[in-house]
Structure 1
Amino acid sequence: MDLSSILSKERTLRCASCQSKKRTIEELSSILSEHIPGPSAHEIFDALIERERLGSTGLGDGIGIPHCRLPSCEKPTGVLLVLESPIDFDSLDKQKVDIIFALVVPQEANDDHLDILATIAGKFSHPEFRDKLRATSSNEELFQVITS
């Protein structure tokens, strides 16, 4: 899957400054609400937090993939943040997170949801890829790395 179909340059941000998991999810929700017709930032935040209550989406190795399904979402939409300082994300490996890919998909998109998560997790499983993301110096460069 080509991540450029769910991600845009405007939703690929380097050096975002967030101090906590909650504040990061608020920021992600705000960005997503500007690009998804229908749900408000509050609705997106509530859905992402509800999913986090089921278990942390902090995968390990500094990666977080908060995600949810929303009935008012028309197509899969993502946001990539690379934080200037890692934050506690309740990750399985207890490491702080500095690369966060948030994903919102339509309520009925079960297969798409799983396929996209598998693609993202697969990319992030490679240390060299994570290093390339962290080494970027601009949003444009970050977008080029994530979509290559």
Structure 2
Amino acid sequence: MVEAVIIRFEPISAGEIKKPLDKQAVLKTISDALAKVSGQEVAQIQSAFLERERIGNTTLTSGIVIPHAVLNGRQSPILGIFNYPLGIQDWEDLDGKPVTHVLAILMGKAGITEQEADDIKHFFMALALPNFLQKISDTKQSQATIAVIKQQLEEK
């Protein structure tokens, strides 16, 4: 039996991008978009992303990065899906290729349910599966990225 996935997926389009953006501009765009869907403050989200990036790199391979912001208080997990086909100017994956897919995670420190914790754990475990990152990388639009991720998560 397939269980429901608790992580809320948000396909977020940056609109038509005429030139590559830099990492700071992308983190601002991500923070703005996630603030709109979560009801949280933009500044708090952006600060949490920047704090996490200072701690260490959140890039994977295949042009994928997973920045995450953990806020004080309760915030159910949201996975914002952002595609940047031209790449992000100063953000490279572990193989030195430009980042093209941002899987931004927003969640709270308090009140996470056991189901939410299990779903987040399953998502992170899926990122280590052979070919999963390449499947994500092959998508060109956020809706397609979500479909690939959901399909993988439903194979619990």
Normalised-by-shorter TM-score class: 0.7 to 0.9
The number of aligned residues is 144
**Alpha-carbon shift at residue 126 of structure 1 (Å):** 4.2
- Residues 78 and 126 of structure 1, relative CA distance in 2, 3 Å threshold: same
- Residues 99 and 113 of structure 1, relative CA distance in 2, 3 Å threshold: farther
State the TM-score, normalizing by the size of structure 1: 0.76
SS at match of 2:84: strand
Measure the CA separation in 2 of the matches of 1:35 and 1:58: 24
Flag structure 2 segments of 5+ consecutive residues without an equivalent. Answer: 152-156
Flag structure 1 segments of 5+ consecutive residues without an equivalent. Answer: none
Corresponding residue of 2:46? 45
SS at match of 1:68: strand
1:27 and 2:26 are equivalent in the alignment: no
% same residue: 24
**Alpha-carbon shift at residue 42 of structure 1 (Å):** 1.5
Measure the CA separation in 1 of the matches of 2:84 and 2:130: 17
- Residue type of the alignment partner of 1:147: K
- Residue type of the alignment partner of 1:12: P
Runs of 4+ in 1 over 6 A off after TM superposition: none
- Residue type of the alignment partner of 1:130: L
SS at match of 1:84: coil
Give the stretch that moved more between structures: 81-90 or 125-134.
125-134
**Alpha-carbon shift at residue 53 of structure 1 (Å):** 0.5
Measure the CA separation in 2 of the matches of 1:101 and 1:28: 10
Choose the corresponding residue for 1:102, options 104, 118, 123.
104
Measure the CA separation in 1 of the matches of 2:106 and 2:38: 9
SS at match of 1:89: coil
Measure the CA separation in 2 of the matches of 1:71 and 1:91: 29
- Residue type of the alignment partner of 2:48: A
- State the structure with more CA Rg: 2
Corresponding residue of 1:120? 123
Corresponding residue of 1:12? 11
- Residue type of the alignment partner of 1:79: G
Corresponding residue of 2:71? 70
- Residue type of the alignment partner of 2:36: E
- Residue type of the alignment partner of 1:105: M
State the TM-score, normalizing by the size of structure 2: 0.72
